Amino acid sequence: MIRRPPTIVCYICGREYGTKSIAIHEPQCLKKWHNENNLLPKQLRRPEPIKPQITTISAKGFYDLEALNEAAWTSAQSQLVPCHICGRTFLPDRLIVHQRSCKPKVAK
C-alpha cells in the first residue's frame, strides 16, 4: 500500500508543501507577501493572512489535516483581489498586469 506523504496547504499562497518544507516555506512566504503587499497601490492592499488554527484532533491523535488544509486554502483564496472591471479574481501582482489589458465591455 502506497501512502501519499501528507502535505500541508500554505495559508498564504495556497500551494501544497510537505510537513517539513512548510515550516521553512511559511516564514519566507509571509515575508514575500509583505513585500508584495507594500508594493501594491493602497486600495489593493490586503490584511495579513491569518493562519488557520484547527483544534479538532482526530481519533488517532493527529490533527485533522483535511480540515486544516481546507481552512488554509480558503485563507489563501481570500488573498485574491477581484478585478473591478470584469469581476475575475487574481493575485494582486497578476491583477495589475491583467488590468492593463482588461477593458470594460462597451454597452451597445
C-beta of 20 vs 57, nearer to Zn ion: 20
Q: Residue 59 CB, nearest distance to Zn ion (Å)?
A: 30
Nearest to 8 by CA among 80, 62, 46: 62
Residues near Zn ion (CB under 5 A): 10, 12-13, 29, 83, 85-86, 102
Separation of alpha carbons 91 and 4, rounded Å: 29
Q: Residue 40 CB, nearest distance to Zn ion (Å)?
A: 16
| Apex 56 CA angle, 50 and 62, nearest 5 | 105
C-beta of 50 vs 85, nearer to Zn ion: 85
